[in-house]
Structure 1
Amino acid sequence: MPDKVKNPVRVVVFAYHSVGVRCLQVLHRSGLDIALIVTHPDDPTENRWFDSVAEWASHQGIPVLTPPNPNDPALVERIAALHADFFFSFYYRQMLGADLLALPKRGAYNLHGSLLPRYRGRVPVNWAVICGEMETGATLHVMTLKPDQGDIIAQEKVPIGPDDTAHDVFLRVIEAGERALSRVLPALLAGKAVHHRQDLSQGNYCGGRRPEDGRIDWSQPAQAIHNLVRGVAPPYPGAFTLVNGQPLRVLKTSLHPHPDALARTQGGDGQPLYLLQAEWRGQGLNTAQFKATFPQGCVPDPWPATKSP
């Protein structure tokens, strides 16, 4: 843990999620003057499996705002009056505009959940699992107007096991982000953090995902289907297939025989895939229930034909 600074450095933090709470704790333990936290309101309708930045800020007595738009001119003026040395962004969901990024005297830094320049953009942990990566991590980098393109000052790797879900990996990424920030913070405060320019040609950019993107294309190889199931497994919306027009949620699979498998199917490459957890009409199914529900076998509806342009 970094030593507390003698003359507190003033920071404004844009944060959300457990990532935000854990990284805020690093800054707080280091004795920084957290003048303001900007976060998102906690949505009671969201499946919020993560910690609340707003609750943490309240317990610490730190001012917190939940604006719909952080780039609102009135808010920019209010933040400017704080004369912050640094801005930090920890899983805040909105981009900061040029007027905000021009304010901190010593720079603005963002924590991203991948090994940049790989998987810039949205839901990087989910994409890494879906794409079958064997490792990912967390990167602290300079904030720029374009997402996830600024110079890197710290990176921490984490492994991805063959059956890990995105949630399993995300928990490791949270810890990796905390380690990356803790490791580089003393050098950053001393003005000695080394900045490494990204080679964007060595990376890729990923967009957001919608629940409907979890539909299984059974023409894909078994490995790709297994990766999709892992990458969107709960607490994310989950993979699914349609059977007679109704969604069967496929929550866990295996590429290897399993004594408790609900069913054995296969991918488009002919390789076997074993269904270990599934949900039909909101109810989880055991092996007997699965066979009773689908006595003739579970036959997915055909993949929709590609529409003409």
Structure 2
Amino acid sequence: MTRAVVFAYHNVGARCLRVLLARGVDVALVVTHEDNPNENIWFECVADIAREYGIPVAAPDDPNTPEFVACLRALNADFFFSFYYRLMLKSALLALPRRGGYNMHGSLLPKYRGRVPVNWAVLHGEHETGATLHRMVEKPDAGGIVAQQAIPILPDDTAGEVFNKITLAAEIALYDILPQLIAGTAPHVLPDLKAGSYFGGRKPEDGRIDWSKSAHEVHNLIRAVAPPYPGAFCDFAGHRLLITRSLGLPGQREEAGKPQLCLKEGSLFARCGDGGLVRILSLTLDDEAIDPGSLLDHLGANPIPLN
């Protein structure tokens, strides 16, 4: 029987762990993270799944310590799998599995290597992304690709909605390729890193809206950081506006002028720096959800100047 150690977190980790078990892989240990009490935990718990199946669980602060490496060496694993595990596995760990280590990444590599690839893809207005299973090497997201599954990004999809599609894409990609991986017949195609891109992490402050940008860019930011992520926001007269959902209106624009929020026939619109319009579908005012159509009454202005 094929034996694996699984490093996993989040929904992709949960679904891919279930795929390994469904395909008859002996999971000797699940390595995961303790949940951060300051983080919005909206995703499935990998540790709970492991315990349901009687699989031992570890959550080290650093899996690369000599002591933990020694523990994993004793398990004699054929494979290591990393499914949305948040820490890099260094060379001493990657040298342990007899058949290699493999990572599931949330983009169509070599595009969007690095952190939060779904959010970056939505922010940049991509029409497609996907999940990629690749061999782990020391350089992030640079090893041979063994499987990919593409998914569409619709014009008004939020990053959360795209992430749900990525989760399914990861499950399909792993389920389909796993028999070949175990048999040793899976192809390994080295990515052309020059044709791709690398991105770092994002902070809540990166969600601040610059209304002087085009309507297309503003709409992409709103949906890229929409809940369950921290959200896109701006400040007006001492109030914090958090825009949680918007609708792109390609081709609809007014004469370019200073950005503003205005009410038309009961709906709230933002005029952006290029004169393009974005319809605001939901928002919070000082952490309280309100009807967008009532915002101007709350703030006592119509229109509301932005920036």
Q: Using structure 1 for the length normalisation, give the TM-score.
A: 0.92
CA contact (8 A) 1:230 1:252 kept: yes
1:27 alignment partner, one of 20, 44, 53: 20
Q: CA RMSD in A?
A: 1.6
Larger strand share, 1 or 2: 2
Structure 1: gaps (5+ residues): 1-7, 303-309
Number of matched pairs? 295
Distance 1:183 1:120, change over 3 A: same
Q: Aligned runs of 1:256-295 on 2, under 5 Å?
A: 256=249, 262-295=267-300
2:114 aligned residue (107, 117, 121) = 121
Q: Which amino acid aligns with 1:276?
A: L
Q: 1:96 aligns with which of 83, 86, 89?
A: 89
User: Which residue of the partner structure matches residue 4 of structure 1?
Assistant: none
**Structure 1 residue aligned with 2:68:** 75
Aligned 1:108-187 pairs, distance under 5 A: 108-187=101-180
State yes or no: 1:192 paired with 2:185: yes
Structure 1 residue 242: Cα displacement: 1.2
Note the C-alpha offset of 1:72: 1.2
2:217 aligned with 1:224: yes
Q: Which of residues 236, 246, 258 in structure 2 aligns to 1:253? A: 246
Are the structure 2 counterparts of residues 110 and 300 from structure 1 closer, same or farther at C-alpha, using a change threshold of 3 Å?
farther
Instruction: Tell me which amino acid in the other structure corresponds to 1:158.
Output: I
One-letter amino acid of the counterpart of residue 236, structure 2: V
> In the alignment, is the contact (CA less than 8 A) between 1:242 and 1:300 conserved in 2?
no
Is this contact kept in 1: 2:156–2:248, CA < 8 A?
no
Distance (Å, rounded) in 1 between the aligned partners of 2:102 and 2:21: 16
Q: Which amino acid aligns with 1:282?
A: D
Distance, in Å, in 2 between the alignment partners of 1:50 and 1:261 is: 35
Report the Cα offset of residue 297 of structure 1: 3.0
Q: Match for 2:275: what amino acid?
A: G
SS in 2 for 1:137: strand
Tell me the percent identity.
Answer: 52
- CA deviation string 1:73-127 (max 9, x = no partner): 1000000011111000000000001100000001100000000000000000011
| CA deviation after TM superposition for structure 1 residue 298, in Å | 5.8
In 1, the alpha carbon distance for the partners of 2:136 and 2:53 equals: 26
- 1:42 Cα offset (Å): 2.2
The alpha-carbon deviation at position 259 of structure 1 amounts to 8.3
Closer, same or farther in 2 for the Cα pair 1:261/1:289, shift >3 Å? Answer: closer
How far did residue 43 of structure 1 move? 2.9
Cα deviation, residue 291, structure 1 = 2.3
Equivalent position of 1:87 in the other structure = 80
Q: Secondary structure at the match of 1:25?
A: helix
> How far, CA to CA, are the matches of 1:260 and 1:14 in structure 2?
52
**1:32: how far off?**
1.1
Inter-CA distance 259–245: structure 2 relative to 1 (3 Å threshold): closer
